[in-house]
Amino acid sequence: MKNIRVNIVLTVAALAVLAGAVSLAARSSRGQTQSPKTDTRVKPTVLITERGPTAKENASAAFAAAAAQNAVLENELSWKFGGKEQHGWYLYHSLIGRILNTQGDAAPTDFAAALAVWQKNKGLSPSGVLDEDSLRAFVSGWQSNRLKNRAYAEPDQLVTAPASDFFDPERVADLRRVERSTYAAYKQMVAAAIADPTLNLAHTPQGELAPAEKYFKIVSAFRSREYQDELRRQSPNAGSAGLAVNSPHSTGRALDFYVGGDPVDTRDANRAIQVKTPVYQWLVRNAERFGFRPYFYEPWHWEYVK
Ligand SMILES: [Zn+2]
């Protein structure tokens, strides 16, 4: 960077000298027909004003204030979801980055600049500040991509997955049922995850998750009405962000995967661990191409929407 700056300074200095020479030449040749060469010699002065770094530095400066506000709002924005007070949007940073097409380590000013473009497309004020209006727009986008048909699964639509696919290897057969195409998509996705060396998943020679591997194992699949009622009785205060009356799990197309931490605990501290795991980050980047969409609030919960 330093070298580039030095080069730019030197180039500017050289061009200044050149421009001086050009104007001297013009003055000394006053009254004569202007040489066509003058135009080509002046051109580099125009080029320098359009140089990438200068434009980028301008954009950075323009979004520095927005980036400073985002640094606060990321942890402190007060909003409500599922009848509960929520703090910030840091738990959804990966999901937001996926939409904005920014990397996790993007500079805060680049994040704000990308956000402003998205805001403009959404008809929001392109401030680059991730305020409540913008967060709500992200949330409604995620929610609109979830399963629309929540019809209860017919028995012939369900297959019983082997216990080796489950986080609890002793899970009973009744609780291992999954909608047929969802299960096929799950197996394809897991095969792709196993093939990704960056995840380093323990697997068998046959390409299945190893018994000792926890990540990507299914925590919960199809839930019968009776089982869902039972879960609700066990945790009556879960609220609407917790156990839904009309659960997507009753379709057989919703799967809870192990993505780290306490498997299905919505406390912020637990979700903060989960959203940082390589497996969750991989799901954010890749699940969609296998037909799975996230429930933003529960890092473990994915729905097969194809
Ligand atoms: Zn779930």
Give the pLDDT confidence score for residue 228 in this predicted structure: 87
Quick check: is 253 in a domain? yes
C-alpha of residue 108 to centroid of ligand 1, in Å: 32
CA 135 – CA 80 distance, rounded (Å): 11
Residue 37: band (very low, low, confident or very high) from pLDDT cuts 50, 70, 90:
very low
CA 287 – CA 306 distance, rounded (Å): 12
**CATH number of the domain encompassing residue 211:** 3.30.1380.10
Quick check: is 150 in a domain? no
Return all residues near 263 (Cβ < 8 A) that are at least 6 apart: 167, 219, 256, 300
C-alpha of residue 249 to centroid of ligand 1, in Å: 6
Are 275 and 91 within 8 A, CB to CB? yes
Quick check: is 29 in a domain? yes
C-alpha of residue 162 to centroid of ligand 1, in Å: 19
How many domains does the chain contain in total? 3
* Co-location of 169 and 237 in the same domain: yes
Are 296 and 144 within 8 A, CB to CB? no
C-alpha of residue 111 to centroid of ligand 1, in Å: 30
* Co-location of 100 and 24 in the same domain: no
CA 223 – CA 176 distance, rounded (Å): 9
Are 127 and 285 within 8 A, CB to CB? no
Quick check: is 149 in a domain? no
| Residue pLDDT, tens place only, 170-223 | 999 999 999 999 999 999 999 999 999 999 999 999 999 999 999 999 999 999
Side chain identity, residue 24: L
* Co-location of 84 and 133 in the same domain: yes
The three-state secondary structure class of 166 is strand
Please identify, among 144, 176, 193, the residue that sits at the C-terminal boundary of a domain: 144
Q: Which residues of 219-233 are buried (b: 16+ CB within 10 A; e: fewer)?
A: bbbbbeeebbeebee
C-alpha of residue 7 to centroid of ligand 1, in Å: 56
- 177 beta partners: 160
Give the residue-averaged pLDDT of 237-266: 84
Give the pLDDT confidence score for residue 49 in this predicted structure: 52
C-alpha of residue 137 to centroid of ligand 1, in Å: 23
**CATH number of the domain encompassing residue 117:** 1.10.101
| Residue pLDDT, tens place only, 260-288 | 999 999 999 999 999 999 999 999 999 99
Phi, psi of 241 (to 5 degrees): -80, -10
CA 81 – CA 271 distance, rounded (Å): 15
